[in-house]
Amino acid sequence: MSDLVNLVQNFAQPDDQSDAYPNTRPDAQPKVSLDAHLDDESLEHHSGQPQRRSLVLGDNDPSDQDLYEHISSENRVWDGKIFSVDRLKVKLTDGREATRDVVRHSGAVAIVALTDDGRICLVRQYRTALNRVTVEIPAGKLKPGEDPLDCARRELLEETGMVPASIAYLTTIASSAGFSDELIHIYMATGLSFTASNPDADEFINVDLVTLNELVDAVLDGQIEDAKTVVGALICDAVAHRLSPQTDDEVQ
């Protein structure tokens, strides 16, 4: 088993541990800093001084009350197979009114799937909206009321034929906060065994296996632009670096 997989096994937990993963959406679960997996001595060694857990105000901070827009009306203007569009009339913080068109989406999951030899599963598929083939981590749309963990297991199996022994929640991203409420929950899957893929009838997919370094290099070189894949690659790289032992020379 590769060093990378050994490291992330400390971060991942078996997906059948109900106390680790309650049957709720990720946004109802507490988010844990990667630093929580390091003891105080490791934190001090990592930077030369004890680290604060966060220096950045997060989303929806109590100090942001003066930024809120107040919705005065909301109407459905379009219903589609994948998403719907609502038109909102809002009152701005200065008292003026504005119109916001909002794409309503049930959300999605994406999975960074690590093989035992430390390679990551990628899918290649044609995306009509971009008119090109894209390279992505496996992902899929949540069904109404579906638990994201169940969706992650289902999509990974459908697209790659992989069944994970362990899944860990990494983060949630807003795919396009300026006009959509879609949230994508990103997971890390390890302990993979292969059965057979079963993509949707309208999906035509090729699967690649690459190392984390190869994936990060492709992201930094601009060869991969898919947002969830960029985030998944970089956060996986961050996990590996934060959990790996460092020498004094590396810290300096």
Q: What superfamily in CATH does domain 104-241 come from? A: Nucleoside Triphosphate Pyrophosphohydrolase (3.90.79.10)
Q: For residue 144, which phi and psi values (nearest 5 degrees)?
A: -55, 125
pTM for this entry: 0.78
Percentage of residues in the chain with pLDDT exceeding 70? 72
Residue 246 exposure: Cα atoms within 13 Å on the Cβ side:
18
Torsion of CA 192, 194, 198, 202, to 10 degrees: 70
Residue type, 69: E
Token pair 């105080």 is at which residue? 40
Indicate if the pLDDT at residue 251 is higher than 50. no
Indicate if the pLDDT at residue 36 is higher than 80. no
pLDDT of residue 63: 84
Instruction: Report domain extents, the chain.
Output: 68-102, 104-241
pLDDT of residue 54: 55
139 in Cβ contact with 110 (< 8 Å): yes
Q: How far is CA 188 from the centre of its chain?
A: 9
pLDDT of residue 240: 82
Q: What mean pLDDT, rounded, does the chain reach? A: 82
Distance CA 217, CA 238 (A): 14
246 vs 40, residue with greater confidence: 246
Q: CA triplet 190, 245, 224: central angle to 5 degrees?
A: 50
Instruction: Give 85-138 pLDDT, tens digit per residue.
Output: 999 999 999 999 999 999 999 999 999 999 999 999 999 999 999 999 999 999
